[in-house]
Structure 1
């Protein structure tokens, strides 16, 4: 049986130049049907340009783009089987919610009655049954975003594109709407390509995250893979927050690297490039343990302490630089000036390339 390619996306050696500036360098990606893949990165990394090329709003300088196995590289936007949800929602303020959702269907020459029926079904899918006669201004920001998603989904695209869809919402509403989008995608099983610069948002909604830097893929993988095994200090600090600590790899055994920081030895998962010699660790702030002590294997001194209710944040001076530490032990508050012993948990620490 032939593999199911409906909803698949392929970028094959895609390059995009604007004049002499190269925005995308030789990009090759495969997105499986029915998955939500996030393009993540700082401003200027190439994620929005990549999405616009997939939408047909930009065309590659070189390479091929396939949707559902069909080469769409040079097709205009209206001939691609995709729909886009914009960060501005782009709802027509003078039209009712139902009219907004039905607009694309009616524009494609579908009979008005059928379009309205499909639009009602779309609103029901996103939990807005009964809201059809309201105007967009009568809805909350989260509800307006769901209308925009419904309007895109009723067109039954192979791929749904979401461009910073939560950027206009406040923090609490962003958490709720991102959950709704993820639940909807999993329930309906559509393919989605999601662009954001918010790493927490990417971790929460994605099957796979593609982190971009200067027009290339810096790393890709599941949210857990990127958080727990970053390949570089850029990834470690962009997916969460991390301290970069110099270390010495003493030896490797049974898939583990024995590393030394100060006089402290610790085991971490080895990488293919793990060989004895100088290296670097990415250490999550909550992977560090602190205890008041003198003559420690890895000593430090508390520089700053802030009590934040359910945890305490520290800045710790060490021979390896200043470490940022998040400690849940709120009953053990170490005051600035305290000499301490630093240890590491087994999780939240990874060898990195640079």
Structure 2
């Protein structure tokens, strides 16, 4: 199956209002060709509005949108070189899988014989060879999703848009299908813009994640960068749970800083930080627990313990607030009301901006 060369995406000072409501106040971003970029954020953050403007389903109130260097700001959806995979799949229930994939090609003026050949190639590409004669009702949710992806890909778009594509699947199937989408994108090298509110999904599929808050970019970067070095308490908590506590930065050496929490000193990444009071984001699995000793500087008491098979979840009351802890040591769990000493692991701790 022939694919169009992947296109870049550029938003230049894009603004979108609905009456008095400002959905996107001023958005500027660039997506490089051949990358999968995820727009991530809570409901109402502007990510879906941004995707719909890129698709041509909404038009900006101000600013410009370029695809492959071409200004498409006011072009209708059918004149943009993009394809969209919808949350609902939007398959025609009375058409076979092959006919669903063929439909868009024929609507674009491709002759029926060529359209069916390309549609069969598309189904093979997504692992559905030999299933073209089945109706959507005869396919599983994951197979229906793959038909929707094939239908979008056979059009050879510069950019593939995916709007919450896995939200209708169960947890286990979501993991498998997101892997398939990522492998397909890497193999074919198309540009993809992916919208989700699921942090695990974003971490698993993305070259770059753009976290949005109130229509603006809160932070963007590679998945590991956002997880390991969140810029704020909002980012730290959104990209997986985080305990936010006060600390003192007591020393800086190169790109590392020494912090002090309740007398416990620890070295953490500390680029562009200053000596003095700060906030610390601590991942639940970055905290260690041990029996309390008279010399332990940072102590707490277990208030809740829950065994979950491969780990134990604790709530630990401290003078810095209640900490949520995930501990992989399941053989000898701590009982509630146990006094414990608190320590930190090397990774999973970051100084944040607030």
TM-score normalised to structure 2 length: 0.97
CA distance in 1, matches of 2:133, 2:305: 54
What residue is the counterpart of 2:323 in the other structure? Answer: 323
Q: For residues 265 and 277 of structure 1, what CA distance do their matches in structure 2 show? A: 14
Alignment-derived partner of residue 287 in structure 2? 288
Who is 1:102 aligned against? 102
**Deviation digits for residues 192-248 of structure 1 (CA, Å, limit 9, x no counterpart):** 000001111111111110000011000001110011110111111111110001101
Q: Aligned ranges for residues 260-279 of structure 1 at < 5 Å?
A: 260-272=260-272, 274-279=273-278
- Tell me, yes or no, if the aligned pair for 2:289 and 2:341 is still in contact at 8 Å: yes
How many angstroms apart in 1 are the aligned matches of 2:168 and 2:346?
Answer: 38
1:140-159 correspondence to structure 2 within 5 Å: 140-159=140-159
| Residue 163 of structure 1: aligned partner | 163
TM-align CA RMSD? 1.1
Task: Give the drift of 1:5.
Answer: 8.4
SS at match of 2:152: helix
Partner of 2:345: 345
Shift of 1:271: 2.7
In structure 1, distance between residues paired with 2:279 and 2:14: 33
Partner of 2:31: 31
Aligned equivalents of 2:17 and 2:157: distance in 1? 28
Note the alpha carbon deviations across 1:106-141, whole angstroms, 9 max, x for none: 011211111101101111111111111111111000
1:330, CA displacement in angstroms?
Answer: 1.0
By how many angstroms is 1:7 displaced? 1.0
Deviation at 1:254, TM superposition (A): 2.0
| SS of alignment partner, residue 175 of structure 1 | helix
CA drift of 1:342 comes to: 0.4
Quote the residue 1:198 is aligned against.
198
User: Which residue is 2:242 aligned to?
Assistant: 242
The alignment's TM-score, normalised by the length of structure 1, stands at 0.97
CA contact (8 A) 1:251 1:257 kept: yes
Give, in whole Å, the separation in 1 of the partners of 2:171 and 2:64: 38
Contact 2:5 2:190 in 1 (8 A): no
Whole-angstrom distance in 1 between the partners of 2:161 and 2:321: 42
Structure 1 partner of 2:138:
138
2-structure distance, mates of 1:176, 1:139: 16
Distance 1:242 1:303 in 2: 18
CA distance in 2, matches of 1:268, 1:40: 26
Aligned partners of 2:313 and 2:326 also within 8 Å? yes
Deviation digits for residues 164-211 of structure 1, max 9, x if unmatched? 001111111111111111111111111000000111111111111000
> What is the CA–CA distance in structure 1 between the aligned matches of 2:336 and 2:100, rounded to whole Å?
58
Map 1:8-23 → 2, pairs under 5 A: 8-23=8-23
Query: Contact 2:5/2:158 (CA < 8 Å) preserved in 1?
Result: no
Give the deviation of 1:62 after TM superposition. Answer: 0.9
Q: Provide the C-alpha distance between the structure 1 equivalents of 2:229 and 2:38, rounded to a whole number of angstroms.
A: 18
Segments of 4+ in structure 1 off by > 6 A?
none
Q: Which residue of 1 aligns with 2:122?
A: 122
Q: Which residue in 2 is equivalent to 1:221? A: 221
C-alpha distance in structure 1 between counterparts of 2:335 and 2:99, whole Å: 61
Q: Which runs of 5+ in 1 are unaligned?
A: none
* SS of residue in 2 equivalent to 1:346: coil
Instruction: Provide structure 2 residue ranges, at least 5 long, that are not aligned to the other structure.
Output: none
Q: Distance in 2 between matches of 1:130 and 1:255?
A: 56
Secondary structure at the aligned position of 2:224 is classed as: helix
Q: 1:91-116, CA deviations, whole angstroms, 9 ceiling, x for partnerless residues?
A: 00111111100101101121111110
Shift of 1:336: 1.2
Which shifted more, 328-337 or 79-88? Answer: 328-337
Q: Which moved more, 1:283-292 or 1:6-15?
A: 6-15
Judge conservation of contact 1:208–1:221 (CA < 8 Å) in 2. Answer: yes
C-alpha separation in 1, matches of 2:209 and 2:167: 18
